Structure 1
């Protein structure tokens, strides 16, 4: 899976499961903490689900809070994992 829309769809699916409701009108500018009200435990669940859906492994050494600010920053991080590229904030 390398298509950007597939990554966004996986994040949307994971967010719907984490939040236990259908996430609608998700954009790349949607803020995970401010708009969706994620907390530390829901972020952990999100990471685990995205790992399963996209078949990547999140490395805690490369994960930064800036990767979790918006759907865009998180999708960029996941794409970096998929391509083996830079996962810097």
Structure 2
């Protein structure tokens, strides 16, 4: 998976699983904490699901809260990892 649409689809599906509901009207400007009400445990679950789906490996040392502000910032982060071969280290 290397295209933006694929990354966004993976994020949307993972969010649906984490929130246990269908996600409608998700945009790149959707805020993960403010709009979707994610908390630290749901973010961890989201990261694990996206790792499994995309093949990336998130390095907790590299993870900044700015990457998790919006769907766009998270998708940018995931794409950056994919561009580096999926390794977050």
TM over 0.5: yes
Q: Could you tell me the TM-score, scaled by structure 2's length?
A: 0.93
Whether 1:32 aligns to 2:32 is: yes
RMSD: 1.0
CA distance in 2, matches of 1:64, 1:82: 17
Whether 1:65 aligns to 2:56 is: no
After TM superposition, which residue ranges in structure 1, 4 or more long, deviate above 6 angstroms? none
Unaligned runs of 5+ in 1: none
1:45-84 matched pairs, under 5 angstroms:
45-84=45-84
Q: State the aligned residue count.
A: 85
Q: Could you tell me the TM-score, scaled by structure 1's length?
A: 0.93
Unaligned runs of 5+ in 2: none
